[in-house]
Amino acid sequence: MTDRLVLDYTGMLAAGIGDHGIAQASLDVAATRFRDVHAAVARQRTAGKLGFLELTDQSDVAERIRSFADGVGQAFDTIVVLGIGGSALGTIALQRALLRPFWNELDDEERDYYPRLYVLDNVDPTTIGPLFDRLDPGRTLFNVISKSGATAETMAQFLIARARLMESLDDAYRRHFIFTTDPEHGVLRQLAEGEAIPTFSVPPNVGGRFSVLSAVGLLPAALVGIDIEAMLRGAAAMDERCRNPDLLQNPAGLFAALQHLAHFERNAPIHVVMPYSDRLAGIADWFRQLWAESLGKRLDRAGAEVFRGPTPVSALGATDQHSQMQLYMEGPFDKTITFLAARERPFDLVIPEAYPDVDALAYLGGHSLGGLLDAERDATRSALSRSGRMNMTIEVARVDAEAIGQILMMFQIATVYAGELYGIDPLDQPGVELGKVLTYGLMGRKGYAPGDEGRAADRRICS
């Protein structure tokens, strides 16, 4: 494979940006230590704990997904994903990266007769009501995605969708659902069996935020014509590349180690991912879950309270130069900025030459719009570096399925390495339980205490 992802970390090092950067000696120590990190992760892989690494090797699943998409999937002109968090963010990222812009506004021919795709990742009735009113039930396929099969938001959406479908289709509603869930357990599995609804499985050892390359992400992707095999190929190539215990040759290792050094040696706990590409914007949001939910932990591996975790932030270039760059350039030295970019574009626009006597316009003429975007990225990187602000650039040849596979796999592996470096378990999420339990209580679920804050009297309010 020639079109390998490239990571330029010049701007993370003191040699590149001065005293606010990471010392070479620190990187050397990290490289030595990385052999242990790498070995620990290899052991987890062998023990079957890192199911997401096995997903590139499931050509039978990809084939079944492709068959479904080529067959019954073609009967629908709208796909609606009912899912939230890890069941939605990957699909949103793929949609944004690999479908034509304004996809849902295009007509059938412009979409090559692939369906529209909506991802309902919230339970706001002011969004869901109008959308459901516009759907033609007979032409809509709902992909309900929940690993546990108990996610309150997704189950509520499912109940509403089911009732709507039954109104117009009666028992045929079943043919408008496909569930993606645990292969054996949970409510969705049980319903699928009872009501003969087709399913795809999320392997039990694949957590929600690591599931984009399982049926969770692949099925919706295949249904709208994305080349899922190429994506898996890219992911496999990145996995292969990250089997290298030499930190400097391992992009996931480098990303994790540099962010970790930035956090603990340079006091920079805020990790910004800033694509210079509208199409890569969804990747930054997907990463935001991966990094936050995996690394933000109260307990370390030994059970001691540590309240650890960097805060990921997603930004977008050049847009956020006009929103966040003032802070990134002049605020506290508490951040790293990771640019994402592609070297080539499928097409570009020439900025016409006009107004030769007007300075503020003349210089633009003859350049391409993509060239302007690239210049802005280059200038921003350079300005940050000159101001001593840690930054790195992850570059792919072009935004295609194979490159996206590489990026997704790189960040996933980096997250597991980072778990080792931060000394926490990157695969659990105990902190979300309390909110769920309290929600169940407020909603009157059997076995849960009703909500009772009993604090109305001592609320502090300005009204």
Q: Which of residues 304-363 bind a copy of itself (CB under 8 A)?
A: 307-309, 311, 313, 316, 318-319, 321-335, 345-349, 351-352, 354-355, 358-363
Q: According to the binding rule CB under 8 A, does residue 264 interact with a copy of itself?
A: no
List Cα–Cα distances, 223 to 79, 105, 111, 202, in angstroms. Answer: 8, 17, 12, 17
Q: Among residues 54 and 123, whose Cβ is nearest to a copy of itself? A: 123
Supply the DSSP symbol for 22: B
Q: Which of 122, 267, 343, 449 binds a copy of itself (CB under 8 A)?
A: 122
The Cβ of residue 250 has, within 10 Å, a number of other Cβ atoms equal to 24
* Radius of gyration of the chain from its Cα atoms, rounded to whole angstroms: 24
Q: According to the binding rule CB under 8 A, does residue 189 interact with a copy of itself?
A: no
Provide, rounded to whole angstroms, the least separation between the CB of residue 64 and a copy of itself: 27
Q: Which of 20, 185, 367, 436 is catalytic?
A: 436
Residue indicated by tokens 């939230």: 84
Q: Which of 279, 406, 411, 419 binds a copy of itself (CB under 8 A)?
A: 279
Q: Which of 250, 336, 338, 412 binds a copy of itself (CB under 8 A)?
A: 250
Q: Among residues 66 and 186, whose Cβ is nearest to a copy of itself? A: 186
Mark the segment that binds a copy of itself (CB under 8 A) among 55-63, 70-78, 149-157, 224-232.
149-157
The Cβ of residue 410 has, within 10 Å, a number of other Cβ atoms equal to 26
Whether 184 sits among the annotated catalytic residues: the reply is no
The Cβ of residue 426 has, within 10 Å, a number of other Cβ atoms equal to 24
Provide, rounded to whole angstroms, the least separation between the CB of residue 228 and a copy of itself: 21
Q: Among residues 47 and 456, whose Cβ is nearest to a copy of itself? A: 456
The Cβ of residue 167 has, within 10 Å, a number of other Cβ atoms equal to 10
Q: According to the binding rule CB under 8 A, does residue 423 interact with a copy of itself?
A: no
Provide, rounded to whole angstroms, the least separation between the CB of residue 332 and a copy of itself: 5
Number of residues that bind a copy of itself (CB under 8 A): 150
Binding mask 12-51 for a copy of itself (x = CB under 8 A): xx-xx-----------------------------------
Q: How far apart are CA 248 and CA 95, in angstroms?
A: 32
Cis bond before residue 318 (omega within 30° of 0) = yes
The Cβ of residue 350 has, within 10 Å, a number of other Cβ atoms equal to 12
Q: Please report the DSSP string for 17-73 in residue order.
A: H-TTSB-HHHHHHHHHHHHHHHHHHHHHHHTT--GGGGGGG-HHHHHHHHHHHHTGG
Q: How far apart are CA 320 and CA 272, in angstroms?
A: 11
Q: Among residues 34 and 68, whose Cβ is nearest to a copy of itself? A: 34
Binding mask 194-233 for a copy of itself (x = CB under 8 A): --------------x-------------------------
Whether 263 sits among the annotated catalytic residues: the reply is no
Q: According to the binding rule CB under 8 A, does residue 454 interact with a copy of itself?
A: no
Residue type, position 23, single letter = A
Whether 271 sits among the annotated catalytic residues: the reply is no
Q: How far apart are CA 341 and CA 98, in angstroms?
A: 14
Q: How far apart are CA 59 and CA 65, in angstroms?
A: 10
Q: How far apart are CA 218 and CA 73, in angstroms?
A: 13
Active site amino acids: 293, 322, 436
